[in-house]
Structure 1
């Protein structure tokens, strides 16, 4: 009984280490502790039933803190406290089923394979992160690789993406655990060799990041004077008729205040009126942008053939429309609309009737001094999908991300979202401009460094220079799922080989 309580405590503490290693806490060394703790539990679970329990506890603490912002999103539309708590708890408990399955499957089928700790466990960790990207439309949040964002090791994402970083974290964590095992068995020589290997991997990845940052894979072709605009409109008022004119007036004033800008970016659904409802206003944007040789991108809601789209439109020296491809379930569409519509205010918002783009989307074309350049447009949650951004950024000179993080209030989500967005800049070796409704807006260079950022809950006009870049990083040359597919393939091959030899071995 005492042992079971100790294992349960380790599961809870290890799960907490994952979000604590990420923004806004940024205690990044804890990511190795959390992943190593999960691996330790995978081997200590004495039965499939105990593995289910420990995996679920790990997930409860991981997601209980890591996605606690779900409650804040409910409160932006005044959902009753009891209902917000109930829905948030239900969501976190459901997500905890993912590490439950991960630990149970490892305990049941993988832990006695050859190299179970140093190879099988890290491969299986990455496969499960990848599953979270697409299962039930996806929840690509809290990946281990994001914890390295503020270290030189993050630059390796230009080589193999965030999944490659997660694999590196998992291998190092497994090595740390193996050192502990060897010391416990008084096998000092083996422990020393493993420790040197771990330090060597840390040192090598750090050295590669320092010597070959992401920006070295691409070539600068020019600079732009850019502006990211943050309106700070309260989410409760945003879609009201009383807020429509003040919103238009705010952006008109921004244009008067910033006459000397090459590219201006407004947030997601910056104006709640559709373009055809304010034709004179939009015509003025086009005229002013053309006169100033300025490209303007703004988030809007468009209507086509009776369907609403969350979109980005280009004005002035930018042209074209980008429609959001990956919608947020329950936020932009209702999976069970017939049953949920009308139950609570959260499900009756104007934004919960959107449709995804019917066709693959292309970068937006812009011009400066008669020369064309291309912008990879990304809307909010799409920034969490590596391959979606990769496909757009391959043919672009700059990445532009618009978002409405006002949904999350004063929670950890806006900081997590910014950290995730920074990784997209590194993977693609492209500078990135980010405009949000109430923060955090930012100018980010190709190495993922935040050059400027806004404070939250204030109106802001971030201005500065970003670099246009061409060329491909190694990450862009292959699908972002290349690392997970490689991990899954190795797992299958190793499992078949072990079965064929009929010689399952102990974990360590």
Structure 2
């Protein structure tokens, strides 16, 4: 009775919803407690079935979402602590506004589901539809932020392989359907509902076990050795004039070091995002030193460049064995409030600029996804940092790559959760496309990921080092690579019209 009163009270209901949101976030990396997350989500959905006004349910949905996003994205304060005197005051506002703002999507889903659903079954159906829609909407709106999506709780579990069919939004959809089973069965048949939900959540695991091969990773043909360089330059030291030469020399040393006995020298060497301090047009002397250290290998290196018109770009350059620039790619999906400032002229009046931007207004977006031809190493799709979280950007590439490469500087994200979540998203992209992913991260986690999303080798967080791996062979294009999110959108459309028809029937019949 006391619990019932607590739930029905405004403060108690909001507190419970917030706490459930925190528990639900435990499914995200680095914890990865997917079943706890699923249980918390199931209880939150059950709250929807209580006879409350839709406004009350919307507030509970907002509290649930705020707890979830605060628990999953608490690391967002880390970038503001790098330059504490300049940006430290923004840290609490960033977390509060980000968590509370993203939770508005969930508030709308919960509130509208309660408004449209006159019966329990309808409420649950509308919530599955609208909450999936909310996750899709926040993946695209205002340049998109598809981080800690509900479906991401399965990254690293066998259920992750379902993304090869339906992507991250398909994972979200089936997770919500499974979590809704206890509420759908009702309190009197709660045990059956829990069993049904657990069984439904386990079905994609069966597909995952079926899809995963029992043997070792198949290497690409011809065999290619890729070296990942991890200099481990802390962000607050990275551009210190006294330390820049040290980090640069460290990368040269890691590039030139001999491989382990019995393994050939690397064919391609990858340096992280913005790993050298010189602009592309002034870096010829450095390129010559890098080519000498590489001893015949190609190098992919992250650095900045400036156009003749003064525009700045976050760039990945391809260096030939003689140190000349063979090709380059400019990052096109930039981080708002990081690499550029929306409403720049307004914020500039207050002296507020992007964290990684320069005071001319930050970076300029490149023209879009591109493929880099590495000769015998194949065609590679370059992703710079944040771009690896957007599956739709990969789908817009001009052709199918042989492998994916991500260069990133996760020193901005601290060492607790942010880099682990970023790695998890890279794993999911590999599963979706059926392509291996090689990622070089400044402070970690540099890793080689096979086309099934398995980390086959990695360097520890916060440690300098190099990693030599044999490039895995790509798989045939997955169902998701061929159709993207269209099947999920069609399913949601069918669900929408079914709910509308059922609502009209119950209303008039």
Does 2:505 match 1:501? yes
Q: Name which of 96, 101, 107 aligns with 2:108.
A: 101
Matched residues, number = 489
CA distance in 2, matches of 1:63, 1:224: 41
Corresponding residue of 1:264: 269
Corresponding residue of 1:445: 450
Q: Is the 8 A contact 2:151 2:175 kept in 1?
A: yes
CA distance in 2, matches of 1:126, 1:258: 50
Q: Is the 8 A contact 1:418 1:440 kept in 2?
A: yes
1:84-126 residue CA offsets vs partner (Å, 9 max, x unmatched)? 2233323322222221112111111246486542x44323222
CA distance in 2, matches of 1:451, 1:393: 28
Bigger mean CA offset, 175-184 vs 126-135: 175-184
Does 2:28 match 1:22? yes
Q: Name which of 449, 457, 464 aligns with 1:459.
A: 464
Corresponding residue of 1:204: 203
CA distance in 1, matches of 2:24, 2:355: 34
1:452-507 residue CA offsets vs partner (Å, 9 max, x unmatched)? 2222222121222221325201110013x3244224412431244235536379xx
SS in 1 for 2:469: strand
Q: Is the 8 A contact 1:319 1:365 kept in 2?
A: no
| Superposed displacement of residue 266, structure 1 | 0.9
Corresponding residue of 2:132: 126
Q: Name which of 306, 310, 327 aligns with 1:306.
A: 310
CA distance in 2, matches of 1:248, 1:82: 32
Q: Is the 8 A contact 1:72 1:410 kept in 2?
A: no
Relative to structure 1, the CA distance from residue 17 to residue 445 in structure 2 (aligned partners, 3 Å threshold; closer, same or farther) is same
Does 2:369 match 1:357? no
Corresponding residue of 2:95: 88
CA distance in 2, matches of 1:432, 1:214: 18
1:221-267 residue CA offsets vs partner (Å, 9 max, x unmatched)? 42421211111112123234444433332222222214711221111
Relative to structure 1, the CA distance from residue 240 to residue 483 in structure 2 (aligned partners, 3 Å threshold; closer, same or farther) is farther
Q: Name which of 297, 300, 307 aligns with 1:297.
A: 300
Counterpart mapping for 1:311-326 below 5 A: 311-316=315-320, 319-326=326-333
1:289-341 residue CA offsets vs partner (Å, 9 max, x unmatched)? 5x62x221111112223211111111126942122121100100001222323
Counterpart mapping for 1:224-235 below 5 A: 224-235=224-235
Does 2:335 match 1:328? yes
CA distance in 2, matches of 1:214, 1:166: 25
Q: Is the 8 A contact 1:432 1:444 kept in 2?
A: yes
CA distance in 1, matches of 2:118, 2:300: 52
| Superposed displacement of residue 179, structure 1 | 4.1
| Superposed displacement of residue 172, structure 1 | 1.0
Q: Name which of 466, 469, 476 aligns with 2:481.
A: 476
Q: Is the 8 A contact 2:230 2:446 kept in 1?
A: yes
| Superposed displacement of residue 49, structure 1 | 2.3
Q: Name which of 421, 434, 450 aligns with 2:426.
A: 421
Hey, which bits of structure 1, 4+ residues long, moved more than 6 A? none
Relative to structure 1, the CA distance from residue 94 to residue 240 in structure 2 (aligned partners, 3 Å threshold; closer, same or farther) is same
Q: Is the 8 A contact 1:68 1:88 kept in 2?
A: yes
| Superposed displacement of residue 284, structure 1 | 4.5
**Unaligned residue ranges in structure 1 (runs of 5+):** 185-190
TM-score normalised to the size of structure 2? 0.88
Bigger mean CA offset, 415-424 vs 449-458: 449-458
Q: Is the 8 A contact 1:45 1:107 kept in 2?
A: no
Between the two structures, name the one with larger relative contact order (CA 8 Å, sep ≥ 6).
1
